[in-house]
Amino acid sequence: MIHGTEVKRPDTDISLRLEFRKNREKTPETRQDFADVTVALVGDKWVCDRQSKPASPDSTSPNGQKFLQALRDAFAKGPTQKFQSWEVVTMDQWRNECLRLALLNKDAKANQQRAMLYKYRLELIGKNHIVCNDELIWFAP
């Protein structure tokens, strides 16, 4: 989905800023293809100004990185399921791997374990590492 917003320019009547808000096909290799761009019709010729943002370093917390590695391990051990076009694992599989790696305290109450796992799940979603649908998890494209 492309979202267009009018941009005022003195040299033309037609100028838009295009944002690719839904970009499910984006990968690290095609990230630049989905960068915001401003296009304008100037003198019977289309011109564009790409608004590429410099890649920021990954600011995932050290514990967030450990939970992400536990998720990778859960995928490696499997089994995975198919959800739409993605290979996914369940929250239970991820939690079990976190318990095995002692990222979650096996003696803690279930709600404490769940709160810790959800804390890092939210961080990893926010950093665009993972995607979740209820109890299913997969890596962000």
Tens digits of residue pLDDT in 89-110: 999 999 999 999 999 999 999 9
Global pTM reads 0.59
> Could you tell me if residue 94 is inside a domain?
yes
* Closest among 135, 102, 104 to 117, alpha carbons compared: 104
Residue 51 pLDDT > 70, yes or no? no
Mean pLDDT over 31-40 rounds to 78
* Total domain count, the chain: 2
Residue 55 pLDDT > 50, yes or no? no
Tell me the two tokens of residue 67: 């939970």
**Same domain as 80, residue 43:** no
Q: What is the pLDDT of residues 105-118, one digit of tens each?
A: 999 999 999 899 99
Whole-number Å distance between alpha carbons of 108 and 44? 68
Tell me the two tokens of residue 23: 């970009």
* H helices, E strands: number in the chain: 3, 8
Provide the terminal-to-terminal Cα distance of the chain, rounded to the nearest Å: 16
Mean pLDDT over 71-88 rounds to 93
- pLDDT exceeding 90 applies to what percent of the chain? 43
- Distance (Å) of CA 31 to CA 68, 75, 128, 129: 21, 24, 13, 14
Tell me the two tokens of residue 114: 């769940």
**Same domain as 35, residue 74:** no
Place of tokens 């050290």: 62
Q: What pLDDT sits at residue 42?
A: 81
Q: What pLDDT sits at residue 57?
A: 52
> Could you tell me if residue 55 is inside a domain?
no
**Same domain as 77, residue 13:** no
* Domain containing residue 88: CATH number: 1.10.10
Residue range(s) defining the domain that contains residue 132: 62-139
Tell me the two tokens of residue 111: 């709600």
**Same domain as 134, residue 66:** yes
Q: What pLDDT sits at residue 107?
A: 93
- CA Rg, the chain, in Å? 21
**Same domain as 109, residue 82:** yes
Whole-number Å distance between alpha carbons of 21 and 72? 27
> Could you tell me if residue 56 is inside a domain?
no
Whole-number Å distance between alpha carbons of 47 and 56? 27
Q: What is the pLDDT of residues 118-140, one digit of tens each?
A: 999 999 998 889 999 889 999 98
- pLDDT exceeding 70 applies to what percent of the chain? 91
